[in-house]
Amino acid sequence: MSMRAARVTKLGNPDVIEILELPDPVPGPEQVLVRVDYAGVNFIDVYHRTGLYPQPLPFGLGEEGAGVVIGVGPMVGIDPGTRVAWVHGGGSYATHAVIPAASAVPIPDGIETKQAAALMLQGMTAHYLSRSTFRLAHGHVCVVHAAAGGVGLLLTQLARGAGARVIGVVSTEAKADAARAAGCELVVKSGADLVAAVKEATDGRGADVVYDSVGNDTFEQSLDALAPRGMLVLYGQSSGPVPPIDLQLLSRKGSLYATRPTLRHYTQTRAELLNRAHELFTQIVDGSLKLTIDRTLPLDHAPDAHRLLESRATSGKLLLDCR
């Protein structure tokens, strides 16, 4: 028996991703073996591939996926045949993956396996950003960078559902249309004067929170777009890491807050993981949350998927079909 899996044996551009034939993995204690149907493609995979987030070489790519449990290790209460989705599993770009049982979320009826694979990392991220890091409520004004991206479209919908006003930042007119359809009341193009646009839309006050996944290229404007005592939530760095800053800058710009959250710290317990997943699944089923899958590529095209993601040529979720 063997499986096919994406492996990185050296760091670099998307060409370093290899699809290899490997022995089938065996689940250990508190692990499950899953036949992977779909794997999500995310910027954290790019960060791993390039070494921005260091990993011991060689390693398997992919933090997120969905499929069917076909084997369980000792001390696991999940039955074979159960459809599950996961995030922070590791090695999800594969036909088979061993993941921690604590990370496996059963997929409820009414949710397609493909939907679950597309929702876990980006949906959970949008959920904790809008519900926990800065809990949005009626009357808040938020700025969402990359508003037509996978997280951006979901975050915009969750923000609107909470009663907040959303100002989205996008790179193209097609993405502007997608951001408006998701609920952005104002869309600003990348490179335009974001600060002026936000100040005009808020009668000079500024935004309560800026959700910034871009990093280096947008950090300064993001701070300047905030109202006094506003919060900058830096949850990604697609343009590169933000240089060190003097914290006095936050005082000078209005006693601002800045945080660099990560999903792991907002799903620290299984209960928290399942509660966030339940809320998202419920909203997908009742139609209050719309999921956008940009495209699905075969596992062999994993390098192409990374090129698409890094070129910002996608709007919504990018998946690999691992079947």
Tell me how far apart the alpha carbons of residues 30 and 99 are, in angstroms, rounded to a whole number: 9
Per DSSP bridges, beta strands 2-8 and 17-23 are antiparallel
Q: Does the pLDDT of residue 254 top 70, yes or no? A: yes
Are residues 8 and 97 part of one domain? yes
The answer to whether the beta carbons of residues 130 and 153 sit under 8 Å apart is no
Q: How far apart are CA 181 and CA 307, in angstroms?
A: 26
Strands 257-259 and 226-234: parallel
**Chain centroid offset of residue 189 CA:** 21
pLDDT confidence band for 277 (50 / 70 / 90): very high
pLDDT in tens, 22-74: 998 999 999 999 999 999 999 999 999 999 899 999 999 999 999 999 999 99
Residue 1 has pLDDT above 80, yes or no: no
Cis amide linkage into residue 58, ω under 30° from 0: yes
152-199 pLDDT per residue, tens: 999 999 999 999 999 999 999 999 999 999 999 999 999 899 999 999
pLDDT value, residue 75: 84
- 69: containing domain: 2-121+267-321
Least confident span in 20-29, 209-218, 284-293, 312-321 = 312-321
Cα dihedral sign, 62-123-323-300: negative
Listed residues 238, 260, 282: the one ending a domain: 260
Name the domain boundary from 221, 240, 260: 260
User: Of 208, 236, 260, which residue constitutes the final position of a domain?
Assistant: 260
Pairing of strands 226-234, 207-212: parallel
Is 10 in the same domain as 85? Answer: yes
What CATH number does the domain containing 302 carry? Answer: 3.90.180.10
Q: Do residue 161 and residue 106 come from a single domain?
A: no
**SS3 state at 63:** coil
3-state helix, strand, coil in the chain (%, to 5): 35, 30, 35
Structure tokens at 253: 């710009």
pTM above 0.75, yes or no: yes
CATH of the domain at 150: 3.40.50.720
Binning pLDDT at 50, 70 and 90, where does residue 88 land?
confident
